Structure 1
């Protein structure tokens, strides 16, 4: 055991991360300390000195060294927070981002309106990844049935694992959540056609050039299929615009996370396809982030 001032340890490791170009070095050092030392953030911040097992200090130093190579923090702690949920993160599965909480919040509001007083809402989430948005809806809305899909088997396994952790609470709320393997709407039960209240999706929407310019945590460690959607970045978004109407009920909504540089073009594409009440919602930094649109009156 060694008596140490925990924040001095954190600051020393933060300096290492800063020199490696990590964007939030002190935050990441603090999160790694919490993970390696099995201590809550308040204890790490306020303890003048603490007796810490030498093995845990070495483990923390090892984690910092790996983080300095720009391996994502979430791959080292194996978790990330999302609207109060602890989402397990695994290499090969896209890490949920804080900005996607905007998409989840809009989906929760729409699902609550759809369920109304004494009704039920049906929500589809293609490209679910680790399942963060689907689970946020399933845990924050009463009387909702969620079907989440992903074509990546690793993502499906991760989403099912995350659902299993909250399954009891979801069922207590009278909700269901299914995660199925397949591309977009292909694995969705056919009897849901024309009955879905909400399709919500955070699809791949970057171009190859944008990924090449991204930080190493994204460029080198996120699954490329979860990032890139064709040369122009909108290939999957356009498929969603084309395919969602067949699943949505009259008046149902489509919510899609977007690249801010192409949000206007996507909104225009939605209007050309007959979607109504089309708007783009900005995130907390003011960047255009989410397309909101109502199903065309006569989907083809």
Structure 2
């Protein structure tokens, strides 16, 4: 019986191969993504990848990495290829067809926590994967959290993420605040959301990873991009207790307009906060006392 031997691929060589493949495909961060794909597929830590760089890999491992790198080269978001991400250090499961949470949304949680009294009630419409609601649930187990989404796939995913993180989140299917129990009218401490905030004609400007993979309903609010935030501002007046807070993550180009609309609706103390790049990104407002 004859055997033919080929030199086994090392981890370092595989990272280089995938980096080149992703670079050619126009991926923004090819080497970082290549390292993630190799590490995650092998179940290695960053240190293990550094120390094991010259270790030969099994054929099965190489095949598995190449199958995933193929998906990433087709500009599928890295988080979907890996099946999850970390959000504020909490492992979050993700699947295709549900909006991929962005790192800057961690700041939305930061603002929500700052406005949340002990034992408070939080409502998060447009929850998607449940990232925000679950983070609040894990970090503030004293609070009552209700998360909603119109999309059944999002409701399933958010429910699963809450269960896996051990967070008590009441996930409900429906439009914005429709599924929230009526007894909470005028009693909500924090209304927080990262709603759809783009106009329909802006999707063309988005990178492939967003335009082709995030559900359009999670991106586009309507012709102007203000449609959902306008509704949430109106809902805030109905649902927040006196002194309760509305926190929205919005498109930087619309924050000033949204602030104007919040003032006209009768909310107080309206201001905006910046993201890590220094762009206006968050709207913060309060129900009058």
TM-score normalised by L of structure 1? 0.91
Q: Which stretches of structure 1, 4 residues or longer, exceed 4 Å deviation after superposition?
A: 1-4
- Residue 135 of structure 1 pairs with residue 134 of structure 2: yes
What secondary structure sits across from 1:133 in the alignment? helix
Q: Tell me if the contact between 1:36 and 1:57 (Cα under 8 Å) persists in the aligned partners.
A: no
| Structure 2 residues without counterparts, runs of 5 or longer | 1-5
Q: Tell me if the contact between 1:273 and 1:296 (Cα under 8 Å) persists in the aligned partners.
A: no
Q: 2:3 aligns to what?
A: none
Q: Tell me if the contact between 1:2 and 1:54 (Cα under 8 Å) persists in the aligned partners.
A: no
- Residue 264 of structure 1 pairs with residue 256 of structure 2: yes
Give CA-to-partner distance per residue, 1:88-141, whole Å, 9 cap, x none: 111110000001111111112212xx11xxxx1100000000000001111112
- Shift of residue 273 of structure 1? 1.0
Q: 2:193 aligns to what?
A: 201
- Shift of residue 287 of structure 1? 1.1
- Residue 245 of structure 1 pairs with residue 244 of structure 2: no
Give CA-to-partner distance per residue, 1:47-84, whole Å, 9 cap, x none: 24224221111111121112111111111110011001
Q: Distance in 1 between matches of 2:252 and 2:51?
A: 40
| Structure 1 residues without counterparts, runs of 5 or longer | 171-175
**Aligned ranges 1:165-184 → 2 under 5 Å:** 165-167=164-166, 170=167, 176-184=168-176
TM-score normalised by L of structure 2? 0.95
Q: Distance in 2 between matches of 1:31 and 1:2?
A: 24
- Taking a change above 3 Å as real, the CA distance of residues 103 and 54 of structure 1, as seen in their structure-2 partners, is same
**Aligned ranges 1:125-164 → 2 under 5 Å:** 125-164=124-163
- Shift of residue 4 of structure 1? 4.4
Range 240-249 or range 41-50, more displaced: 41-50
Q: 1:173 aligns to what?
A: none
